Amino acid sequence: MKKRIILTPYIVWCIVFIIVPMVLVLFFGLTDESGKFTTRNLCEVFLYPDVFLRSLWLGFKATAICLVVGYLSALIISRLNVKLQKILIILVMLPMWMNFLLKIYSLMFILQDNGFINGILSSFGFSKFNMMNTEGAVILGMVYNFLTYMILPIHSSLVEIDEKLLDAAKDLGANYFMTFVKVIFPLSIPGIVSGIAMVFIPSVSTFILSKMLGGRQNFLVGDIIDMHFLGGIYDPHIGSAISLVLMILLLICTGIINQLQNENKSKKGALVI
């Protein structure tokens, strides 16, 4: 009984902010203006296959870059002494405390045709270099915004590794590279998996960022949805349908990632700490 009372606020929260909106999305997505059931909206979604593909593709690229950069950073940080680690981890988290829009505006300022980089280039006599409204700019924006979410889980899984295991590996004849391949990397996979989930999903569903840095030709699913609610084409039914499809896609992705995690966990069932 007590448990239920304690759970009540959570349940209310779930209903108001998760269940109801989901039902609304489902309802809008599957009905027309008169409220009659229709699959027309869902068919409409297939007018944007390129946008969906681009979202997944850019999300994938950004995640891959985050993985490489994030893993290296986490690895280097985890090898430092505790004091320095704390400072660096705070530095890694610092951008999270800054407003999302502000960060994009500053990125725009840096990348613009008469922005920071081009300013420096031209002062050295180089010609200007177009960086705005490119796929690269969008990926940069994603990496910049989500890198933290890759570094943190990987770092925490790296520092969790018992120093004694590394000694044992060295003792048995493994040099640093072999120790990394055979012990450090496999034991950091849980961190990698959650890092991927935490970067890929927000990257795929992000918006604004793509519109501001990538321009019209780099619209992502998020931007299309945005357009159908607040933008030029007002049609909440099609917007909801797109949301629905995106949700299903992400659900599948999460499922795959979870599967990886579970496989890893069942192996980790052998863990003795």
Which residue among 183, 193, 224, 242 contacts another protein (CB under 8 A)? 183
Which residue among 187, 196, 225, 250 contacts another protein (CB under 8 A)? 187
CB under 8 A: which stretch of 76-84, 85-93, 179-187, 216-224 binds another protein? 179-187
**Is the Cβ–Cβ distance between 104 and 212 less than 8 Å?**
yes
* Position 273 contacts another protein (CB under 8 A): yes
* Position 79 contacts another protein (CB under 8 A): no
**Which ranges of 160-272 would DSSP assign to H, the alpha helix?**
163-171, 176-179, 185-205, 209-214, 221-229, 236-268
* Position 271 contacts another protein (CB under 8 A): yes
Which residue among 168, 248, 251, 252 contacts another protein (CB under 8 A)? 168
- Taking alpha carbons only, the member of 222, 264, 234, 242 closest to residue 59 is 222
Residue 230 burial by Cβ neighbours in a 10 Å radius (0-12, 13-18, 19+): exposed
Smallest gap from Cβ 198 to another protein, in A, equals 22
Amino acid letter, residue 17:
F
Q: Which is nearer to another protein, 42 or 75 (CB)?
A: 75
Task: State how far the Cα of 181 lies from the Cα of 160, in Å rounded to an integer.
Answer: 17
Q: Which is nearer to another protein, 5 or 273 (CB)?
A: 273
CB under 8 A: which stretch of 24-32, 67-75, 167-175, 209-217 binds another protein? 167-175
Q: Which is nearer to another protein, 164 or 216 (CB)?
A: 164
**Is the Cβ–Cβ distance between 188 and 202 less than 8 Å?**
no
Task: State how far the Cα of 85 lies from the Cα of 242, in Å rounded to an integer.
Answer: 43
CB under 8 A: which stretch of 26-34, 63-71, 81-89, 264-272 binds another protein? 264-272
**81 φ, ψ (degrees, to nearest 5):** -75, 160
Which residue among 133, 134, 136, 186 contacts another protein (CB under 8 A)? 186
Q: Which residues pair with 151 in a beta bridge?
A: none
Q: Which is nearer to another protein, 91 or 165 (CB)?
A: 165
Residue with tokens 């950004």: 62
Which residues of the shown chain bind another protein in the complex (CB under 8 A)?
A: 162, 164-165, 167-175, 178, 182-183, 186-187, 267-273
